[in-house]
Structure 1
């Protein structure tokens, strides 16, 4: 029996999670359906736009994403510090970008006077919404539900569009985070939908490369790379952007079908710092979901996370010990 989602996500273990949802129908979410001949490629933009929008509304940073033909991947960071720093008005403004709220919260947003009882009712809502803005389950629902409605309306049908539950993996350390982000960004290359990261449509890596090449002044809407860990450590991904982009590019070329599985020796220092060999890296970036279950990290972090989540068994312990040490 599946564990409740609240028992799979713990900020004590990690704020980073890899989530994926798959379309339940035979028909594709996006791309060309070979059985019907209908092209749903434009729907990938629906999903990408929604991911980026939610990254601005929620206190959850989007680290990586890839929108595929019948599923999507996201790597998310729960930014609880941001949620706690929001004013009541900011919480209300963000929530109302998603939902109508209540009559009282609408009055509060307009600056209308509230009596004590009304304010207490509003305050109770705002405290709940503050937590929801840092809730991955709410984030995934806010992503999937509107897409399902749009697709159902277009297909003139009703019923489930997505599988009943999204899958999630807790990324317990830097190795797991870097490997999972690269795994997500390289999805189109493994699926032979693209040959290079910069040509991988509807992925975070393409968005990062384009932003880097054009020096686009517009917000990237993705989690920032802040460099190697240090004290004090700013909020963001603990890698250098150039190292990560170079590493993903080299890896993408290594896993192309017309290339042998080999990574150039002139690797950026990110792998050396993380103590991951080129062989281990190729395994991680091609078999991440199949090798690991709900918790991913070194054996020490895995044991601590399993204890925090009350798990009697340590999922995929042997693979974590062998590959992530």
Structure 2
């Protein structure tokens, strides 16, 4: 018997989930239509930038992602407690960055003082929005619907674009989390699209290794198109690696990024009979391939969030000057 979605996603059991969405038209999501010769690869950047944008607005973090030709993978961490700490105004500003909102919300954001009955209705609306901004289903709705609309418009057709809303799988242990992240990051390698993880386009592992300025610029353009500058919007980097478990509170992944890269590299070298690709055995280890010395590596690994945000801020300033 099929379980309801609310029974499949329970933050009390685990905050980590592996989410997949697959296209009905198979290779027409982001790949090449071999019948017509049309190339839809440009959609990958749109999907990647929207993943980053939505994770910055919702109370969840992205641990891993891969945008493939006919499907996409996400590993997310839900953080509903974060949404509880937002002010009422911040909740409304985040929600109206994606949706227009009713007249009461628009009036409140303009600074109009509402009478008591209308304020009570507004408080109920805020409570609903707060729950939605911490909900995996609403996150996927905001991700998948614009993709489907764009694809249907480009294809000149109607109807379903995705096979289903999405599929989710709870990751109940650290081993399950790391193995799933490695599986997601190795998708292009296993599909023989990329020879090594650091050359896998539109994946989280490449973004962690070398944060893309092109991606930051495209997200900046998306922010401006959505008019998100009306509140203090900050681009959220992916869920960081916090290192080994300690007595202190750790929001990120309790593993070292260096060790994770080596884990992915080792896993990718193993040949799977049901997969086309694998990392060549004669290649040097991933850290040597990246040409990163120990001092530079430690600096980048420990200050990833600051570096990511700094690059995004520079890109945003440059875009504003051009505008």
TM-score range, shorter chain: 0.7 to 0.9
Question: TM-score, normalized by length of structure 2?
Answer: 0.76
Residue of structure 2 equivalent to 1:207: 207
Deviation at 1:257, TM superposition (A): 4.1
Q: Is contact 1:208-1:220 (8 Å) kept?
A: no
Q: Match of 1:88?
A: 88
Cα shift at 1:85: 0.8
RMSD across aligned positions (CA):
2.4
Q: Match for residue 42 of structure 2?
A: 42
Alignment of 1:91-240 (within 5 A): 91-211=91-211, 221-240=237-256
Which blocks of at least 5 consecutive residues in structure 2 are unaligned? 217-233, 272-276, 288-323
CA shift for structure 1 position 258: 7.0
C-alpha displacement of 1:211? 3.2
Aligned pairs for 1:250-261 (under 5 A) are: 250-255=266-271, 256-257=277-278, 259=280
Mapped to 1, the partners of 2:255 and 2:42 lie a distance apart of: 33
Deviation of 1:2 after TM superposition, in Å, equals 2.6
**Preserved contact between residue 65 and residue 74 of structure 1 (Cα < 8 Å):** yes
Q: C-alpha displacement at 1:188, in angstroms?
A: 0.5
Once residues 136 and 57 of structure 1 are traced to their aligned partners in structure 2, the CA distance between those partners, rounded to angstroms, is 13
* Pair 1:245–1:198, CA change in 2 (3 A): same
In 1, Cα distance between equivalents of 2:279 and 2:204: 24
Aligned pair in 2 of structure 1 residues 92, 219: CA closer, same or farther (>3 Å)? closer
The offset of 1:144, in angstroms, is: 0.3
Quote the Cα distance in structure 2 between the aligned partners of 1:138 and 1:219.
Answer: 19
What's the offset of the Cα at 1:60? 0.9
Q: Distance in 1 between matches of 2:237 and 2:93?
A: 18
Question: Which digits, 9 at most, give the CA deviation of each residue in 1:16-46, with x for residues without a partner?
Answer: 0000000012451012122322111111111
Measured after TM superposition, the shift of residue 157 of structure 1 is: 0.8
Over 3 Å counting, the alpha-carbon distance change for 1:87 and 1:59 in structure 2 is: same
Which position in structure 1 is the counterpart of 2:309?
none
Secondary structure of 2:268's aligned partner: helix
Structure 1 stretch displaced more, 58-67 or 35-44: 35-44
Per-residue CA deviation, residues 21-77 of structure 1 (Å, 9 max, x unaligned), is 000124510121223221111111111111111110100111110000000000011
> Residues 195 and 253 of structure 1 are in contact (CA less than 8 Å); yes or no, is this contact kept in structure 2?
no
Give the secondary structure class of the aligned counterpart of 2:17.
strand
Q: 1:246 — aligned with what?
A: 262
Question: 2:32 and 2:59 mapped to 1: Cα distance?
Answer: 35
SS at match of 1:198: helix
Unaligned runs of 5+ in 1: 267-325
TM-score by length of 1: 0.75
User: Relative to structure 1, is the Cα distance of residues 257 and 155 closer, same or farther in structure 2, using a 3 angstrom cutoff?
Assistant: same
Equivalent residues of 1:196, 1:253 under 8 A apart: no
Contact 2:55–2:236 at 8 Å: present in 1 too? Answer: no
The answer to whether structure 1 residue 59 and structure 2 residue 75 are counterparts is: no
Write the distance in 1 (CA, Å) between the matches of 2:57 and 2:73: 19
Aligned residues: 261
Match for residue 75 of structure 1? 75
The 8 Å contact of residues 23 and 70 in structure 1, kept in 2 or not, is answered as: yes
Alpha carbons 2:185, 2:204 under 8 Å: kept: yes
Give the Å deviation of 1:4: 1.4
1:88–1:243 Cα change, 3 Å: same
After superposition, the Cα gap between the structure-2 partners of 1:26 and 1:178, relative to the gap in structure 1 and judged at 3 Å, is: closer
Contact 2:68–2:188, Cα closer than 8 Å, also in 1: yes
Distance in 1 (CA, whole Å) between partners of 2:120 and 2:182 is 46
SS in 2 for 1:211: coil
Q: Contact 1:83 / 1:130 at 8 angstroms: preserved in 2?
A: yes
